[in-house]
Amino acid sequence: MKQTFGKNERLCSPRIIGRLFKKGSSEVHTFYLFPFRVLYMYDQSPISPLPQVLFSVSKRNFKKAVDRNLIRRRCREAYRLNKHSLVTLTTESRPSYIAFLYLAKEIVSYDVIESAMKQSLTKLEKLPASPKSPS
């Protein structure tokens, strides 16, 4: 499998991002794993064969864009190298959209981010398949 992170894997749709961050929505599931809060959602008709992913770093915690970009690059790299566990799942048991929110107040090392990403992906891998409800 190619270890790339192409445009079709990036979550760019404002409509889907709005659904993912909608408060009190029953279709969005979440869990915390330092330094991430992971939001994920199942969809009946996924756009791409791989889950679409979003990485978010708070401007409130990191004022300088250089710091936010550094964290985002580290998160994307950790995901790119470890996403193979999600690819092996069927499309019904795999979330269609995933958002990784970086919650730590300081810049953590790449090793911490990578281990948290591995744990997050294995947790997503072991989740029971969500029943598909019509939207």
pTM: 0.86
For residue 123, give both structure tokens.
């947790």
Q: Given pLDDT bands bounded at 50, 70 and 90, which one contains residue 48?
A: low
- Encode pLDDT of 34-47 as tens digits: 999 999 988 876 66
Strands 28-33, 36-41: pairing kind: antiparallel
Residue whose token pair is 């979550």? 11
- Encode pLDDT of 3-37 as tens digits: 778 788 888 889 989 988 888 778 888 899 999 99
Per-residue DSSP letter, 64: S
- Report CA-CA distances (Å) from 92 to 6, 13, 33, 55, 96: 22, 21, 24, 23, 9
- Encode pLDDT of 87-127 as tens digits: 777 777 788 889 999 999 999 999 999 999 999 989 988 87
The pLDDT of residue 131 is above 80: no
